[in-house]
Structure 1
Amino acid sequence: MPELRLGRRDFSDGQYAVMAIVNRTPDSFYDAGATFAYDAALAAVEKAVREGADILDVGGVKAGEGPEVPVAEEIDRVVPFIDEVSRRHPELVISVDTYRAEVAREAVAAGADLINDTWAGWDQEVTAVARDTGAGLVISHTGGLEPRTVAKKAVYEDVVKEVHDDLVSQAENAVAQGVRRDGILIDPTHDFGKTTYHSLDLTRHLDVLTESEWPVLVALSRKDFVGETLNLPTDERLNGTLAATAVSAWKGARVFRAHDVRATREVLDMVAAIKGDKEPKAPHRSL
């Protein structure tokens, strides 16, 4: 498995990392603004750390369609917060969820270790920020969508091959531009520019990505492909999310972006123990 170094942490072969989500937005699809207020967001960080988060992903703009958020407002939502969290939890890897280079640069200066660019390099200067600062970079696949839009009709001849080839090409290009090789993650980016069938196919064949030289991040938590598969609303998608998480871990994903940190941590620890990568925490039966 390739090396992965983020902030002060080295994530070794067989180690699963939980990336907790804290949205500094009033209109996020799942929590509907529950962590928009500063104090509520800080409380969510403390809870995530207690429950086993390794990485904290902070976003200031809803991924989906919604009101325009100016760059200055996005910076105001995330940068002071990242600065505070980095001082309170120097051991925690901090990620900024943004597709804008200006926001990424300010966030890294405030303490972010990773740039989670979920819109596939729409702003090409994001790569330059990772290069100039030494921050890690999440490389995503969206099928060419403009940020914060939904595909009207997503069509692929072979979604697994096309996503793999695009991500590997983007990763190699980032290294050629000077981004740290051991700071790059690739994300198949379930739902973005994809139907539910595409996201299921990518999960089913995730090993095609994990067998590449790049560590894989999956963002599965309560997404539409889970909801459409089970015909369930957002607040009832945890079980489906955890099933997809277990499958993705077994197939070699390394980082898991999650709303439900404790449940995700327990699933990943169980998968790691079954695979023989982690010891049981309290074995005593018949010993």
Structure 2
Amino acid sequence: MMLQLNKHVFDLKRPLIMGILNITPDSFSDGGQYLTLDSALKRAHQMIEEGVDIIDIGGESTRPGSDPVSADEELKRITPIIEALKKESDIAISIDTYKPQVMKAVIALDVAIINDVYALSQPGAIDIIKESNVGICLMHMQGTPKTMQVNPQYTNVVSEVKLFLEARVNHLMLEGIDKSRIILDPGFGFGKTFEHNIELLQHLESFQSLKFPLLVGLSRKSFIRKILNGDTDDHLSGSLSAAIFSVIKGAKILRVHDVKETKSALKIINVAQGKT
């Protein structure tokens, strides 16, 4: 399976690592750590040295209960780090945004991916993507970040998430967006209870029938901490275990905070699966 992300082409014989870089004051795990350009750039270089494949930059927190920020504020946060990275590295850059205005601005900066928690449902978003060659990650979310954890309900979470993603893919393809540009994300933690997240993880292999690369974001999720009885000091082992389990179930891209440790864990699974 090949993945075309603007000028970057990835062979998905082995899983890719997408490193998280939040330029926000309020993200649930690393909010406030990388607000200055120097600290953000230092972290980006560290992830590159650790073997990251893609760096996912976000300028607005989408944690449960978070409030939106303006497109201008989002661009003020993320543009300097994009420009600095582009001068120093050819690493693939993903931008975690749902705003068409932000998409248009960062596409002009030659990023590789738009990672959209609203799956291009905002007015004008698809038109922006159609005019570019960027990859697009479509994520499932029930509700909005502000309200998504207020009593989310499903009859069958796996089939409903799958049907949503399939419908969005079909819509994009009708709009002329090539399938080689599309990534799918079931949206762990986005409008799902503990039980919903577990059920999705248990049946993750069912998404392979859609025949698109699957991205999973399990790193430091609250439902993993709940399994570990709320032990926040042990988030790494829980995140790594969930990540490797998702790879066995068919995940092709892992969105993570801990790049070095995930890279090491993947070496074991790659050897075991004969993908060295």
Q: TM-score, structure 2 length as denominator?
A: 0.95
Looking at structure 1, the residues matched to 260 and 209 of structure 2 have their Cα atoms a distance apart, in angstroms, of 28
- The code of the aligned residue for 2:238 comes to G
Looking at structure 2, the residues matched to 26 and 270 of structure 1 have their Cα atoms a distance apart, in angstroms, of 35
Indicate conservation of the 8 Å contact 1:118/1:140, yes or no.
yes
Displacement, 1:204?
1.0
Aligned to 2:173: 175
Looking at structure 2, the residues matched to 56 and 184 of structure 1 have their Cα atoms a distance apart, in angstroms, of 17
Looking at structure 2, the residues matched to 105 and 181 of structure 1 have their Cα atoms a distance apart, in angstroms, of 21
Looking at structure 1, the residues matched to 233 and 121 of structure 2 have their Cα atoms a distance apart, in angstroms, of 30
Indicate conservation of the 8 Å contact 2:19/2:256, yes or no.
yes
- The code of the aligned residue for 1:125 comes to G
Give the 3 Å change call, closer, same or farther, for CA 197–179 of structure 1 in structure 2.
Answer: same
Displacement, 1:79?
1.9
Indicate conservation of the 8 Å contact 1:119/1:147, yes or no.
no
Give the 3 Å change call, closer, same or farther, for CA 157–14 of structure 1 in structure 2.
Answer: same
- The code of the aligned residue for 2:58 comes to G
Displacement, 1:119?
2.5
The structure 2 residue matched to 1:213, chosen from 211, 214, 228, is 211
- The code of the aligned residue for 1:69 comes to V
Looking at structure 1, the residues matched to 232 and 101 of structure 2 have their Cα atoms a distance apart, in angstroms, of 32
What is the DSSP-based 3-state SS (H/G/I as helix, E as strand, rest coil) of the residue aligned with 2:102?
helix
Q: Does 1:114 align with 2:113?
A: yes
Q: Which range is displaced more, 179-188 or 145-154? A: 145-154
Q: Which range is displaced more, 54-63 or 153-162? A: 153-162
Displacement, 1:235?
4.8
Looking at structure 2, the residues matched to 235 and 222 of structure 1 have their Cα atoms a distance apart, in angstroms, of 10
Structure 1: gaps (5+ residues): 279-287
Q: TM-score, structure 1 length as denominator?
A: 0.91
What is the DSSP-based 3-state SS (H/G/I as helix, E as strand, rest coil) of the residue aligned with 1:185?
strand
Q: How many pairs align?
A: 275
Q: Which range is displaced more, 256-265 or 24-33? A: 24-33
Q: Deviations over 1:62-112 (max 9, x none)?
A: 11234542111111111232122122112x110000111101110111121
What is the DSSP-based 3-state SS (H/G/I as helix, E as strand, rest coil) of the residue aligned with 2:223?
helix
Aligned to 1:6: 5
Q: Deviations over 1:221-273 (max 9, x none)?
A: 10111112222254531111111101111111111100000111111221111
Aligned to 1:20: 19
What is the DSSP-based 3-state SS (H/G/I as helix, E as strand, rest coil) of the residue aligned with 1:160?
helix
The structure 2 residue matched to 1:254, chosen from 240, 252, 255, is 252
